[in-house]
Amino acid sequence: MKTIDDFNFKDKKALIRVDFNVPLNEKFEVTDTNRIEAAKPTIIKVLEDGGSAVLMSHLGRPKGQNNPDLSLKHIVSKVSEIIGVSVKFVLDCVGKTAEDAVAALKPGEVLLLENLRFYAEEEKGDESFAKQLSALGDIFVNDAFGTAHRAHASTTIVAQFFTENKCFGYLLAKEIDAIEKVMQTGEKPVLAILGGAKVSSKITIIENILDKVDHLIVGGGMTYTFIKAQGGKVGDSICEDDKMELALDILKQAEEKGVKVHIPVDVIAANDFANDADTQISPVNEIPDGWQGLDAGPKTLENFKEVILQAKTILWNGPVGVFEMENFSKGTIAVGNFIDEATKNGAFSLVGGGDSVAAVKQFGFENKVSYVSTGGGAMLESLEGKTLPGIAAIIE
């Protein structure tokens, strides 16, 4: 696995695929700079070697159309501020305009290309478009984990034009390393905490990780499909009736593989899906009609704490309650606190997948876990055991 440390960029132009798909407000100001900050070490390494950096990214979903609202020109000043270098910008990402801008680039300079997705060829993985991109650099560096699961021109196809001169940036290398720690090399006991609303969205992950983990905590809305499948009463809680057999099958597989599954024993139930609803603590298998489970209960959290504090490797994917509502966020916050404590005691903890990452950021756990993944879909596909095209293209 070649990383950016295997190259010296002196007098070289690094063509770097970054993920600057950042949120903008109505004034076109960047409201979350995490992705830009995450790419900084890779860009700085190139500049300190005496090379120049050509950055390519997408922003939003312009669907192959030139949409001024989604121009990367809006983020140039923020990127300059974060990297500490005045970033140049060009209003295209291929063709003469882009080529001239790259040719004029001096060592120590950074150029940001226009939104790749202004061309439909980007998402189609078009080879001739990828070849045009490849003309803009001497070494290809992929540092965009968030798009590594897409076989797009700039993430995957472009790599074939750099037979030897291609590598992972620091961010992508860290992502690969973190997933490997959970899935292959992690110290035992290995624990996966899977939450979120639906079993259906986590089936392939569960089936793939049962061979890798010692303990599995099931939380969030998924809980009720498992409980109902075992004959429990779940009231009006979210439940996938058509996945009940599957839930029983997962429990059977876990038992055969010696994996201990921990399911909530009590919940905070509410008489309405609202923050100000009436609540009661209810045994998870005796939720009254007209009530729905919206958060983990106190006994459940005690049980979870014991399992989490014993773990040496922890994967957290998905909240254990409706954390977006303050009154039903306590379970997710508690789990975050337990993982924080386990991490302080020497465990490796990886948080990945949209909602759990959002929860970790919202409640200030970002620096209390070992690693927070930057890629939602890419992270989930890695956990499903799939080889991501953007990663395979560099390794090949």
Element spanning 233, H or E: strand 233-234
The pLDDT score that the predictor gives to residue 54 is 98
Annotated binding residues for (2R)-3-phosphoglycerate, written as ranges, equal 35, 117, 150
Tell whether the model's pLDDT for residue 12 goes beyond 80.
yes
Residue 6 pLDDT level (bands cut at 50, 70, 90):
very high
Separation CA 350–CA 179 (nearest Å)? 8
Closest by CA position to 266, among listed 229, 294, 306, 230: 294
pLDDT digits (tens, 9 = 90+) for 65-124: 999 999 999 999 999 999 999 999 999 999 999 999 999 999 999 999 999 999 999 999
What is the fold, at CATH topology level, of the domain defined by 4-172? Rossmann fold (3.40.50)
Residue 212 pLDDT level (bands cut at 50, 70, 90):
very high
In terms of phi and psi (left: phi > 0; alpha: psi -120 to 50; beta: otherwise), the region of 207 is: alpha
270-294 average pLDDT score: 98
pLDDT digits (tens, 9 = 90+) for 120-154: 999 999 999 999 999 999 999 999 988 898 899 99
The pLDDT score that the predictor gives to residue 112 is 98
Whole-number percent of the chain with pLDDT over 90: 85
Residue 203 pLDDT level (bands cut at 50, 70, 90):
confident
The pLDDT score that the predictor gives to residue 382 is 86
The pLDDT score that the predictor gives to residue 353 is 75
Separation CA 335–CA 304 (nearest Å)? 8
Which residues belong to CATH 3.40.50.1260 in the chain? 4-172, 186-383
pLDDT digits (tens, 9 = 90+) for 334-391: 999 999 999 999 999 999 876 888 899 899 999 999 999 877 778 888 888 888 999 9
Separation CA 28–CA 25 (nearest Å)? 5
Predicted model pTM: 0.87
pLDDT digits (tens, 9 = 90+) for 20-77: 999 999 999 999 898 999 999 999 999 999 999 999 999 999 999 999 999 999 999 9
pLDDT digits (tens, 9 = 90+) for 252-281: 999 999 999 999 999 999 999 999 999 999
Whole-number percent of the chain with pLDDT over 70: 100
Closest by CA position to 79, among listed 59, 106, 103: 59
The pLDDT score that the predictor gives to residue 62 is 96
The pLDDT score that the predictor gives to residue 146 is 84
Annotated binding residues, written as ranges, equal 19-21, 35, 58-61, 117, 150, 202, 293, 324, 353-356
What's the CATH number for 186-383?
3.40.50.1260
Annotated binding residues for substrate, written as ranges, equal 19-21, 35, 58-61, 117, 150
The pLDDT score that the predictor gives to residue 354 is 64
The pLDDT score that the predictor gives to residue 105 is 98
Strand partners, 141: 16, 167
Judging by beta carbons within 10 Å of its beta carbon (0-12, 13-18, 19+), is residue 59 exposed, middle or buried?
A: buried
Residues catalogued as catalytic: 35, 198, 354, 377
